[in-house]
Structure 1
Amino acid sequence: MTGFAELWQVGDAVTRSVALLLLLMSVSAWVVILWKGWLLARARRSIARAVPAFWSAANLEEGRAALQNFDQDDVVLPLLDAATASAASNTLEASGRRESRLTRRLRDALHAVLQRLQFGQVLLASIGSVAPFVGLFGTVWGIYHALVTMTAGGSLSIEKIAGPVGEALIMTAAGLAVAIPAVLAYNIFGKRIGVCEAELEGFAHDLREMLDSTEATQ
């Protein structure tokens, strides 16, 4: 922290801008990490409780009530709503086969849920890939600024160069400190989203098969 404070004091506008950008990236990444960790934990818990409760119900009405009780984050219920919604007459949606309409509605509902679960992944990936280069740029600029300042003040020596160069290297360390949590969180959340996606796809497939069978028997 002392080296960073000294670098802030002796740095120019570019150095300070890089430091502020890294700080903004770090705050943004941790906000998304904490929020997505909470969201995905609730979503996985909702799926684990709501899906078995739905299939344990005696009919669709009781199944919907079970989803409303257990699916607090609305990750499963939108699929049932899409599957049981009625299409408006005299529209292209109502003109196709019932099986095709059902598949399209379930697909659109599934994509909407997954888009909500994936929100923030692009930000984490961007921060994880850009932050090291931002830190490296801050290091290079800090070294250049220190050398220019020392050159204007007289002769150079290894003792005079070592301090400013060491302080400038803090920017590279800061860039890595920002990037590493973002990359790890991106990979962990990607795996959890994949698990949720597989479970929701399975539920959508089973729901479609059930509704097709119900329609065939009527």
Structure 2
Amino acid sequence: MYLGKSFFSRLFLVLMMAVGSVPALAQEPASAPAATATAAPAETTAPAAAPVPAATTTKESVDNPYGIKALWAQGDFVAKGTLCILFIMSLGSWYILITKLYESMKISGESKAARRGFFKHASLGDAAKTLKQGSAFRFIAETGIEAGDHHEGALTEHIDRNTWVTMSVQRSVDDVQSRLQDGLAFLATVGSTAPFVGLFGTVWGIYNALTAIGIAGQASIDKVAGPVGEALIMTAIGLAVAVPAVLGYNWLVRRNKVTMESVRSFSADLHGVLMGARAAAR
């Protein structure tokens, strides 16, 4: 019994030792792959990628085969003649605008000078000499003085002195107004006809473009849009010529009205002085 008991005790101890060694053996193979797994990334670390140079964008300059220069170089005598007419219209309009602006400003300054010192003199002769030589107000004053002093002649004697002086002063005022309105008719003509001249050039250019396309037998977008767009330049030029002419015409008409009001006011005062001096002389 003692031997049997010790035998079973030893057998139990061996079994317990065998059971306890199984997890240890199982952990050793599991830890080995983990170690290799952690070592593998360290060994296979990829080198840093070299920086890729930025792609340089290059802009290709494309020559525009259409434009005013090409229109003049490739146009026929009708297209060139239309451009010349529009150029003359524009040049004449700007010349008239500048010169008429200068004349209007000049008369406005003369009006202020005449109002300030003309009627403060003792005699009309001395007062007229104070005005600027060649000015519109001196012309009106000298005309009125001459009409009042020289009222003789076979036909003018039938007109009373008051009417004769009034007619003479009014004619001088009309001459000043006519001089101010010189060139306005040209501005009105340019403003009303320049768009149609440009439109004529456009129609002629489109006609030539379509004829060339029909002869070539190619109707692609570049063959149609380019020449037609180039022909539209004529209309744009016509509008660019007409708009300043119309604006300048309206502005000068308004400015001339204001200027002529001061001229008529001066002539009315001069007429009153002439008639008053004549009555005092009697």
TM-score by length of 1: 0.92
Q: Is the 8 A contact 1:79 1:204 kept in 2?
A: yes
Amino acid at match of 2:68: F
Q: Is the 8 A contact 1:46 1:72 kept in 2?
A: no
Aligned residue number for residue 190 of structure 1: 253
Aligned residue number for residue 152 of structure 2: 89
Aligned residue number for residue 77 of structure 2: 13
Is 1:37 aligned to 2:101, yes or no? yes
Q: Deviations over 1:71-95 (max 9, x none)?
A: 3551101111111114463332232
Aligned residue number for residue 78 of structure 1: 139
Separation (CA, whole Å) in 1 of partners of 2:133 and 2:247: 28
Q: How does 1:32-71 map to 2 (within 5 A)?
A: 32-67=96-131, 71=132
Q: Is the 8 A contact 1:57 1:66 kept in 2?
A: no
Is 1:116 aligned to 2:179, yes or no? yes
- Give 2:238's match in structure 1, choosing from 156, 171, 175: 175
Separation (CA, whole Å) in 2 of partners of 1:4 and 1:148: 20
Aligned residue number for residue 104 of structure 1: 167
Q: Is the 8 A contact 2:151 2:161 kept in 1?
A: no
Amino acid at match of 1:98: R
Q: Deviations over 1:43-100 (max 9, x none)?
A: 1111111232102223213311221xxx355110111111111446333223201111
| Structure with greater helix percent | 1
- Give 2:209's match in structure 1, choosing from 120, 142, 146: 146
When residues 25 and 121 of structure 1 are mapped into structure 2, their CA distance, relative to the original with a 3 A threshold, is: same
Amino acid at match of 1:209: G
Separation (CA, whole Å) in 1 of partners of 2:221 and 2:154: 78
**Number of equivalent positions:** 215
Separation (CA, whole Å) in 1 of partners of 2:208 and 2:120: 69
Is 1:207 aligned to 2:257, yes or no? no
Q: Which has the larger radius of gyration?
A: 2
Separation (CA, whole Å) in 2 of partners of 1:90 and 1:61: 23
Amino acid at match of 2:268: H
Identical positions, percent: 37
Amino acid at match of 1:147: L
Separation (CA, whole Å) in 1 of partners of 2:133 and 2:93: 26
When residues 196 and 105 of structure 1 are mapped into structure 2, their CA distance, relative to the original with a 3 A threshold, is: same
Q: Is the 8 A contact 1:51 1:76 kept in 2?
A: no
Which consecutive unaligned segments of at least 5 residues does structure 1 have? Answer: none
Separation (CA, whole Å) in 2 of partners of 1:209 and 1:37: 31
Work out which structure has the larger RCO, using CA pairs closer than 8 Å and 6 or more positions apart in sequence: 1
